[in-house]
Homo-oligomer: A and B are copies of this chain.
Amino acid sequence: MVTGTQPLPCKNPVGDHLLLRSFKNKVDYCRLQGCDVFYSNVYLHPKMDSYWAKLPLIRSAMMAHPEVEWIWWMDADAVVTDMEFKLPLESYKDHNLVVHGWDNMVYGDNENKSWTGLNTGSYLVRNCQWSMDLLQEWSKMGPLTSEYEKWGKILTTMFKDKPFPLPDDQSSLIYLLYKERTKWGKKTYLEGGYELECYWVAMLGRFEEIIFGYNDLEEDVSSLRRRHAEKLSKYYGELREPHLKKRGWVPLSKGKRPFVTHFTGCQPCSGNHNPSYKGETCWKEMEKALNFGDDQVLRKYGFIRKNLSTSYVHEVPFDYPWSNFLR
């Protein structure tokens, strides 16, 4: 997993605290699932800043990690909210890029075309020559080129809803996929089968409901609430799967924990959040999501929160009845 933020402190007074917790969340997931995580605090190319910084970073991570098949990019404002979810890498055997998106908005006619047709906040890139070539082509639309502004005009003409004049990595990727579908689109998987990244607004008020559902399940199935070593988390995650399916809690359904919740539009560091919601809502929900993920980890250390908006934790009695503990 590769992630990162800009070199300087945040302008928003709670920004760096949220970034710290968001990084901890990613480190937790990687420890539980057995993957490496690399965080960058520098721009590898001085002109490739902001959202363009990830491209040279992913390229360098590929070179430094020849043993790795997949690089998973995660934005700093994306939070893992299902610590047991395993990326279904086996289903991507014919693809080199996996990104959350919708066919009609990426490849469809002009009416459906949107700069949010896919989201580059959380995506997978196979460590191979095809990806190296893609990164090179993709970078050519970024701040390195003398035709940067020209590309901005091309993109704003194609995507009527693009809110700013200069090129961004997301619109540029859609452009490449659409214009050269045979070359790039064929090897790109637009994932919509689970929350590779889920817009946080869709999760407003839902985390509590999910917790109660999982608790009910554990009241029925005692093996799932057994206290266990952290190294056995994957085993216990697999044990839970058939029980979730029996209740119809498959990815994208109401009962299932979303895999990744993405606080897109919140901009925790600058604080220049999308004006359609309040900053306060952003920070409060981000804290809830972080606590939701953290509780799944802390429980293995013997603790849990009774309330998602607090950092106050309680000791979990051995094989306790959930109903008495939480209600």
Decide yes or no: A303 and B41 within 8 Å by CB, A16-B17, A65-B229, A67-B231 being known contacts.
no
Minimum C-beta distance from A164 to chain B (A): 25
**A14: interface (CB < 8 Å):** yes
In the complex, which of the residues B20, B43, B65 contacts A23, with contact meaning CB atoms closer than 8 Å? B20
**A24: interface (CB < 8 Å):** yes
Minimum C-beta distance from A225 to chain B (A): 16
Decide yes or no: A311 and B42 within 8 Å by CB, A14-B9, A60-B302, A301-B60 being known contacts.
yes
**Which of the 9-residue segments A32-40, A152-160, A181-189, A195-203 touches chain B?**
A32-40
Question: Quick one: which of A24-74 are within 8 Å of B by CB?
Answer: 24, 27-28, 31, 36-39, 41-44, 46, 60-61, 63-67
Q: Is the CB of B46 within 8 A of A312?
A: yes
Q: Is the CB of B311 within 8 A of A44?
A: no
How far apart sit A23 and B23, CA to CA, in the bound complex (Å)? 9
Q: Is the CB of B63 within 8 A of A301?
A: yes
Minimum C-beta distance from A99 to chain B (A): 23
Decide yes or no: A298 and B27 within 8 Å by CB, A20-B16, A66-B229 being known contacts.
no
Over the window 280-306 of chain A, the binary record of Cβ atoms lying under 8 Å from chain B Cβ atoms (1 yes, 0 no) is 000000000000001000101111000
A→B interface (CB under 8 Å)? 5, 7-10, 13-17, 19-21, 23-24, 27-28, 31, 36-39, 41-44, 46, 60-61, 63-67, 229-231, 294, 298, 300-303, 311-313, 315
List, in ascending order, chain B residues with CB within 8 A of A19's CB: 16, 20
Q: Is the CB of B9 within 8 A of A60?
A: no
List, in ascending order, chain B residues with CB within 8 A of A303's CB: 42, 44, 60
Q: List 20 A-B contacts (CB under 8 A).
A: A7-B311, A9-B16, A9-B17, A10-B16, A15-B16, A16-B20, A20-B20, A20-B23, A28-B38, A41-B294, A42-B294, A42-B298, A42-B312, A44-B303, A44-B315, A60-B301, A64-B230, A64-B301, A64-B302, A66-B229
Choose among A17, A31, A43, A311 the residue with the greatest number of B CB atoms under 10 Å from its CB. A17
Residue of B with least CB distance to A269: B17
Residue of B with least CB distance to A65: B230
Q: Is the CB of B37 within 8 A of A27?
A: yes
How far apart sit A37 and B31, CA to CA, in the bound complex (Å)? 8
How far apart sit A38 and B230, CA to CA, in the bound complex (Å)? 11
Minimum C-beta distance from A197 to chain B (A): 22
Decide yes or no: A64 and B311 within 8 Å by CB, A17-B10, A42-B298, A294-B41 being known contacts.
no
Q: Is the CB of B38 within 8 A of A31?
A: yes
Q: Is the CB of B17 within 8 A of A301?
A: no
List, in ascending order, chain B residues with CB within 8 A of A229's CB: 64-67
Q: Is the CB of A36 within 8 A of B31?
A: yes
Interface contacts beyond A9-B17, A31-B37: sample of 19 additional A-B pairs, CB < 8 Å, sorted by A:
A10-B17, A15-B16, A16-B16, A16-B17, A16-B19, A20-B23, A23-B23, A28-B38, A41-B294, A42-B294, A42-B303, A44-B301, A44-B313, A60-B301, A60-B303, A64-B229, A65-B229, A65-B230, A67-B229
